[in-house]
Chains A and B, each alone.
Chain A
Amino acid sequence: MSATDHSISAGGLPPARLLPGHAALRRVIAADIRPGLAISAIFLAVLVFAGIFPNILAPTDPLATDPSHIFAAPSLDHILGTDENGRDVFSRLVHATRSSLLLGLGAALLTTSVGSLLGLLAGLGPRWIDNIVMRISDILQSVPEILLILVIIAFWGASMSTLLFGLGFAGLSNCVRQVRAQSLVLRRAPFVEAALTLGLRRWHVVLRHVLPNAIKPVLVLLPLQIGIKISAVATLSFLGLGAPPPAPNWGGMLAIDRDYVLNAWWVAAAAAGVITLTVLSIATLGRDLIRRSEGRR
């Protein structure tokens, strides 16, 4: 008991009391927004802005080449220097944001929506549907996600739509399993049985009572999914399977500069930095959501 008392007296003081007088700061701390979370949120806000209005942030044409200034070091003209074709690195990073975010968001939504639907069908539908869905899910789970995407791209070629489809398709089985497991629990929950006993229609019960509860953990995981998908997009472009040149993409910039680190480390560093920060920020945000959903602070 005394040990617990110690810990409370040492670190357990309400933080607000340590900083009297700063009302705004106190509110932030009272809402338990950690500095990491705040930085992540700001970075993501900038990214979203870059995705929507790239030209405001980086007015230089990301495709404009200049063979006489290849691999120029960072300067006032080019704050992150230029690349192998003399293009502005900062501008290319900014202009690559939209496709990265859209692909990440789109693929995560695709996985979540299709996965939830199949999970509900498997959990609440007849046994034979459950069997089919789960066996397909088993097959998908036995193949590494990246391999699955590579196969899809090999068949249909690299384009935005195949990338979106491939990324959405991979990772489906996790989502299916989660929603199925939740709905199996929920179908025997007292409130669902009560609703059915009251004579509500089956589909109404599914949509009003089962789905919202079954999908909750999936929604909490959505931000993490987006982060995973964005890094998968970067991986694929790194392997040369992203959008074809000259369109800028983060993974592609990193891949090409691998051969030129000697001449221009800044291209690889900038691209790697943006990828890392993006995934890190989304993960931070996601973890915070999970924490809150679990009632922890």
Chain B
Amino acid sequence: MFAPSLSRANFLRGSAGLLVAQAMGGAARAQAVSAAAVLYAPTDYRAREPGKSGGTLRVSVATDTGILDPHALAATNVQWIGRILFDNLVYLDESGNITPWLAKDWTISPDGKTYTFALRDDVTFSDGSKFNAEAVLLNLQHMRDPKTKSPLAGTYIQPYASGRIVDEYIFEATLHQAYSPFLNVLAQSWLAMESPKVIREHPASLLYHPVGSGPFVLENYAPQQGMSFVRRPDYNWSPSLIGHQGPAYLDRLEFEFVPDASVRYFSLASGEYHFTTDVPPQAAAAIDAQPDLVMTDRIRMGAPFRPIAFNVTKPPFDDIRVRRAVARALNRDGMTQIAGFGLFRPVSNFLSETTQYFDDKSSAQLSYDTNAAAALLDEAGWTGRDADGYRTKNGTRLGARIAMTTAAASVPVLVQVQADLRTAGFELTLDAVPIGTAQLMRNNGDYQAMSGGVWHTNTPDALYINYHGSQIPNATHAGQNVSQLNDPQLNALLDQARLSHDPEVLKPLYAAAQARLIELVPAVPIYENQTVVAYHKTLQGVIYDTSHETPHFETIWFGERTA
């Protein structure tokens, strides 16, 4: 019996530095050793014992992605779809190193621009077509094809220039410039390998009938209702790291979309579903109280949740002191409680704690301190007070408008941001705008602040995506730098980091970039981006994806009391 090793209780009790990871159900205690970062135990990522075949797993999911072609997807939190249907060239290990999957081996040229992959020769897609160098070439082209409208995969391999079929199982990729996160992103679920036959013959069908080489095959997809998958009996090429080879244990997977948070909880507790990929945090206490349910919450790599992103080019946030004051006026623990009900973990950095090269030496500069906030606003000249208690300068009230999309799930957090800022004498007005309007505002840079979100990716290059000057959104480039930050020093650090594969070089570069961002405060990080899943204790072999911290379904099996 093995379950996720870092139980929630321990997770919360863990003192600032050292977290004790406890293997639930066993006496073994592993220590997640790191002065700062949260690390999960290796057993969370590797199946430890062989399981029993058979059974149909019923799973509830919060949202429907609408389409199933991973190259056309950007949806967060559902990367498990990719692992069910597809395989990738490489897979990460638990410390972020690259390990083989469909690519057995690879070499990188000294200038960092040429990658040569040696591919497995025993892999087939479920439509019978072979996995080979041509398949890789077609897949990379498909990600880049404007017709795919790839929101993520295409952007992540932007430096990819061309590919060459050296021989049937040797593929060579050439990049425009060195790009060290290349292998990391190739390990991500949304950059999986699809059938070359379908890509060549009718690529549009991939949206609803994706064909991959993964452990399951899509049986049915009913938008807004659910989807089902059946096991592929001849599957035998899992990444060796997950500790399981051969076909998946479960015969069938049945997923149903259950958008209502309360219903997701009740239907799990009642046994209608064995598993839910989206536990509403507010149900944490109720699930904890049930002895036959297991719940795990895991921090995802990338950028944590930032409820407010400042436009650093527009007043009042063009003044760095005002940005710092806002950051220090926010009660991070309070907001984390409001959103996470004890499940979420506060963070004061622009990278999540589990991301490689996370460095929180300067995090204290963003800590909650109302006196520091007041001093900064005084220094910035906002010393007057009006009848409503807001600060003023030359008769103008200190305030700003924040655009939030109408469907913002984080409204209670934004309400708390507003309440904390009101205490600091800052009037924040929440503007609910339709998503189309928000897009236009982003492209035109026409806003004082935007409600931010999370940015999950399996590399510290998340900083480049979110804050490099080249990533400012405009009409032709859907960049993520909504803070409109263009700092030469930060740009240089992030550019250099893309050139090197050497940990000794990368560590100080990313540390400096994090320190610089904390100094510039383009947004306020509040809590970690976490996935919370829960399932019935009869389920065994639940392990997690090293890139996404989402569950792997191929290793799950039913223990004694098969429901």
Contacts and interface: CB of A to CB of B under 8 A. Distances in A.
Interface in A238-275: 240, 244-246, 256, 258-263
Interface in B395-434: 406-407, 411-412, 414-416, 418-419, 422, 430-432, 434
B434 A261 contact: no
A63 B333 CA distance: 19
A67 B335 contact: yes
Given A84-B338, A85-B338, A258-B262, A64 B419 contact: yes
B419 to A, nearest CB: 4
Interface residues of A, number: 22
B334 A68 contact: yes
A28 to B, nearest CB: 45
A158 B415 contact: no
Interface string A203-245: 0000000000000000000000000000000000000100011
A124 interface: no
Given A65-B416, A70-B338, A240-B406, A262 B411 contact: no
B40 interface: no
Interface in B248-262: 260-262
Contact of B419 (A63, A260, A263): A63
A233 B262 CA distance: 25
A63 B423 CA distance: 12
A257 to B, nearest CB: 10
A67 B411 CA distance: 14
A278 to B, nearest CB: 25
B411 A245 contact: yes
A248 to B, nearest CB: 11
B439 interface: no
A254 to B, nearest CB: 13
Interface string A77-118: 000000011100000000000000000000000000000000
Contact of B411 (A64, A65, A256, A261): A256
Contacts of B418: 245-246
Contacts of B406: 240
Interface string B271-286: 0000000001011011
A65 B419 contact: yes
A259 B419 contact: no
A67 B416 CA distance: 8
A260 B281 CA distance: 10
A244 B430 contact: yes
A154 interface: yes
Interface residues of B, number: 31
B317 interface: no
B286 A68 contact: no
A86 B415 CA distance: 11
Interface string A59-78: 00001110110100000000
B265 interface: yes
A232 to B, nearest CB: 19
Given A240-B406, A262-B286, A70 B337 contact: yes
B155 interface: no
B262 A158 contact: no
Contact of A259 (B282, B333, B416): B282
Nearest to A154: B434
A262 B432 contact: no
Given A70-B337, A84-B338, A158-B432, A245 B265 contact: no
A244 B411 CA distance: 10
Contacts of A63: 419, 422
Give the most central of B406, B407, B419: most A CB within 10 Å. Answer: B419
A70 to B, nearest CB: 6
B537 to A, nearest CB: 21
Interface in A36-80: 63-65, 67-68, 70
Contacts of A263: 282, 285, 341
Interface of B: 260-262, 265-266, 280, 282-283, 285-286, 331, 333-335, 337-338, 341, 406-407, 411-412, 414-416, 418-419, 422, 430-432, 434
18 contacts: A65-B334, A67-B337, A70-B337, A70-B338, A84-B338, A85-B415, A158-B432, A240-B432, A245-B411, A245-B415, A245-B418, A246-B419, A259-B260, A262-B265, A262-B266, A262-B282, A263-B285, A263-B341
Given A67-B334, A68-B337, A262-B286, 10 more contacts: A84-B338, A154-B434, A240-B406, A240-B407, A258-B262, A259-B282, A260-B261, A260-B262, A262-B262, A263-B341
